[in-house]
Amino acid sequence: MSDPLRKESAGIIGEKMGQHYIPYGRQLIGADDIAAVVEVLQSAWLTTGPKVTDFEKAVAESVGVRHGIAVTSGTAALHAAMSAIGIGPGDEVIVPALTFVATANCVVYEGGTPVFADVHADTLLIDPDQVRKKITPRTKAIIAVDYAGQPCDYDCLSEIAAAHKLFLVADGCHALGAEYRGRKVGSLADLTVFSFHPVKHITTGEGGMIVTDKSDLAERLCRFRNHGISSDHRQRENQGTWFYEMVDLGFNYRLSDIQCALGISQLKKLPEWLARRRGLARLYDAALADVREVAPLTHNGDNQHAYHLYVVRLAEQTDREQVFREMRRKNIGVNVHYLPVHLHAYYRNRYKTAPGLCPVAEKTYERILSLPMHAGLCDEDVRRVVSALGEAVAGAGR
């Protein structure tokens, strides 16, 4: 099928450079996805209908767990997870310093305190030794983030969680389809959260899901996304009753059938897209082996990486800002993931966090760059990115 976005960006953004814009991430929508959405638009259920349940079952099954609870975003999924495990004022939750802000924000939503742990310099995954150091009598949970799509050291994190009676929550927003020692991300923590934002592996426009094997948590999550009400509209319809009871305070975080139909259709293509992302990573690895100033993050051999991002570290004497600007000038959508959360103005103001708290994350952050990585890239795109990067770093020595 033709690719309208690509044509459009080639025409508008790429014109002056003569080469189309390559974004760091983007969705792939096919005729099958469009047909699936149209079918729902013509059906009786636009929301809280059968497609929601089907999508939940399909995602849960794909990662090998019993329950999936669809919500409106990955952020809503994190929020629901914090509520389900009972985070409240006075509770501390350990999160990695280098992640998207939502990983820490969800703790704040429920009145808890995020405590930042440093990461490994070579993988940017949370460092279990740093987690141990941050545990206090108030610690209630750890949120592990599978940065870039590589699973954390779950055996070690589970051991720490068990020893201190903590919940282990996985922010798997980068890692749908990843595996750790033969086990799927989604089956490695008490609760695992996924996002279906367009830059993630599969999309529903906006959307998210929590997966778990624990029935009591699943029940709480279902209530939380529906105002804290103990039954949903379809269940009442089926039972021929109007009565419902609100038992907790919840939100309207329901994902629609329109979105879930798109998700079901997208999920069918996940294996193929994961294989493509892994193939692109191998191309990058091979091509970058010759570029002295650029080092990809380490990929641990005991896992299957999902490559949401392809992140490289630039040499210390290379000026990242100059490389960033030069790549953007060449219509290549490089990006930086992420400014460490504790350095954001909000956290500095509210929690008095400051540079020095997580030195590895802070230092490595200044050298990282995310190269384009999505299933719609062709081999020629990778060659263009690598050649532009080679030129950019050559001109950005300090």
Ligand X SMILES: *Cc1c(COP(=O)(O)O)cnc(C)c1O
SS3 call for 197: coil
Nearer to ligand X (CB atom), residue 170 or residue 393: 170
Say which residue the tokens 């105002």 belong to.
Answer: 227
Instruction: Answer for the pair 175, 150: CB distance below 8 angstroms, yes or no.
Output: yes
Q: In whole angstroms, how close is the CB of 266 to ligand X at the nearest point?
A: 14
Q: Which H/E stretch holds residue 94? A: strand 92-96
Measured in degrees and rounded to the nearest 5, phi and psi for residue 311 equal: -110, 135
Q: In whole angstroms, how close is the CB of 322 to ligand X at the nearest point?
A: 27
Q: In whole angstroms, how close is the CB of 196 to ligand X at the nearest point?
A: 7
Q: In whole angstroms, how close is the CB of 224 to ligand X at the nearest point?
A: 16
Closest CB to ligand X belongs to which residue? 74
CA 343 to chain CA mean position, Å: 20
Nearer to ligand X (CB atom), residue 167 or residue 331: 167
SS3 call for 397: strand
Strands 368-371 and 310-314: antiparallel
Count how many residues are written for the chain: 398
Of 200, 214, 352, 363, catalytic: 200
Cα-only R_g, the chain: 21
Indicate if 133 belongs to the active site. no
Nearer to ligand X (CB atom), residue 207 or residue 392: 207
CB atoms within 10 A of CB 395: 12
Measured in degrees and rounded to the nearest 5, phi and psi for residue 19 equal: -135, 140
Q: In whole angstroms, how close is the CB of 194 to ligand X at the nearest point?
A: 9
Q: Residue 147 has what DSSP assignment?
A: G
Q: Which residues here bind ligand X, judged by CB under 6 A? A: 73-75, 99-100, 102-103, 145, 171, 173-174, 195, 197, 208
Give the Cα separation of 218 and 237 in Å (integer).
Answer: 22
Nearer to ligand X (CB atom), residue 100 or residue 224: 100
DSSP strands (E only) in 16-79: 67-71
Nearer to ligand X (CB atom), residue 20 or residue 174: 174
- Catalytic sites, residue numbers: 200
